[in-house]
Amino acid sequence: MKKTLRFLLLCLPTIALSQVELDQVDDFEDYTMSNWTKNNSIANENIYNGGPSGEGDNFLRVTSSGSGSDLELMTKNNAQWQGNYYQGNLSSRVKYISMDVRNSGSSVIFLRLSFQTDYGLIYRCSTTNAIAVLPNEGWKRISFSILEENITALSETFSYAVTFGSGSQGVEEMRILHNDVPAWESDPIEAVLDIDNIMAESQTLSTEEIAVKSELKLFPNPTSNAITVTSNENVTEDISYSIIDLLGRTVKEGRSKLNQEINIQDINSGNYIVEIKNANGEIFREKLIKN
């Protein structure tokens, strides 16, 4: 038995020493794609002007056609985002990956991160929640929590600790992609996504839109008549709501309260984004299927 165990341990991949450093950032000011690549034939672009800081600020543009070999909106990194995210210190480890994004197309993009490592078996996972990036809303700062409670396993065999580098080589590939559910591949979409200032962080700014497990939920979903924004806390809190189609057009808006019904019989069947704002300006977005 001991000989078998030793043999299996020898068969595991060699542990690399690379680390993803806190506060490392891809700002694309070197006029390259900073090792962000893709599988389809529409190449990533370094745009020399018009980033979130305005004139002279470079950014990365990722484009998909929604058909053929270019159907996916996805870009991946197998270089500086490889490695150990733990850094031997759980309290100050990389907990969030933040970036500036802009939707320069005409369809709503559901943005999320996915990760893969090979530790004898392929481990894959994705951020549990996506962030909806709407057309015509300009640049905004978003942040994805990569803490274990905000990660969904995609492979049958999965270890969070091994994937992110506790006693292993860590992440081998990181992806930024469009999908409204946790996935390794993008859903087909015709889209143009602009990205800048991708950063590894241990905490986030209060102004960032953060993809974490939300305390709010839409119920029922799918539905044909009404929705309720449910919460275990602040049960009488005033909210404003907007129902937005997948072209970014607001089809219904108004004011309501948490845990009170909102009638949606007057909107057509289809897929929508429901955007909820509370009195503090905090934003919650979720996909709605209207039957």
Residue 93 lies in a domain: yes
Residue 244, domain CATH: 2.60.40.1930
DSSP string of 223-255, one letter each residue:
BSSEEEEE-SS-TT-EEEEEEEETTS-EEEEEE
Predicted local distance difference test score (pLDDT) of residue 250:
94
Q: Which two tokens stand for residue 14?
A: 């060699």
Rounded Cα–Cα distance for residues 52 and 69 (Å): 30
* 2 occurs within a structural domain: no
Helix H or strand E segment including 275: strand 270-278
C-beta of residue 113 within 8 angstroms of C-beta of residue 144: yes
Same domain flag for 200 and 239: no
Same domain, 55 and 180: yes
pLDDT digits (tens, 9 = 90+) for 25-68: 999 999 999 999 998 889 999 999 999 999 999 999 999 999 99
Q: What per-residue confidence (pLDDT) applies to 207?
A: 55
> What's the pLDDT at 205?
63
**Residue 221 included in any domain:** yes
Which amino acid makes up residue 78?
A: N
Asked if residue 114 and residue 50 are part of one domain, the reply reads yes
Task: Give the domain range for residue 249.
Answer: 217-290
Q: With respect to residue 42, please indicate whether it lies within any of the assigned structural domains.
A: yes
Name the E strands within 9-161.
25-26, 36-37, 45-47, 59-65, 74-77, 96-103, 109-118, 122-127, 131-133, 140-145, 151-153
Residue 169 and residue 281 share a domain:
no
Distance CA 44, CA 26 (A): 14
Q: Are residues 26 and 154 in the same domain?
A: yes
The CA distance from 75 to 176, in Å, is 5
Tell me if 11 is assigned to some domain: no
Number of domains in the chain: 2
Cα atoms in the 13 Å half-sphere on the side-chain side of 227:
28
| Residue at 182 is within a domain | yes
Q: How many C-beta atoms lie closer than 10 Å to residue 18's C-beta?
A: 15
Q: Which of 192, 211, 230 is at the close of a domain?
A: 211
Contact 277, 209 (CB under 8 A): no
Gap between the Cα atoms of 216 and 227, Å rounded: 12
Same domain flag for 78 and 92: yes
From 161, 176, 211, the end of a domain falls on 211
Instruction: Examine the domain organization and report whether 144 and 35 are in the same domain.
Output: yes
Q: Cα–Cα distances in Å, from 128 out to 110, 125, 148?
A: 12, 9, 10
Residues of the chain with confidence (pLDDT) below 70: 1-17, 87-91, 166-168, 205-215, 232-236
Q: What is the CA radius of gyration of the chain?
A: 20
How far apart are the C-alpha atoms of 152 and 146, rounded to whole Å? 10
Contacts of 4 (CB under 8 A, 6+ apart): none
> Does residue 231 sit in the same domain as residue 200?
no
- The enclosing domain of 23 has a CATH number of 2.60.120.260
Residues 254 and 150 in one domain: no
8 inside domain: no
Give yes or no: residues 172 and 126 share one domain. Answer: yes
pLDDT at position 10: 39
How remote is the C-alpha of 198 from its chain's centroid? 12
Residues 224 and 154 reside in one and the same domain: no
Give the domain-ending residue among 154, 186, 211. 211
Residue 252 lies in a domain: yes
Is the same domain home to 171 and 59? yes
pTM of the predicted model as reported, rounded to 2 decimal places: 0.79
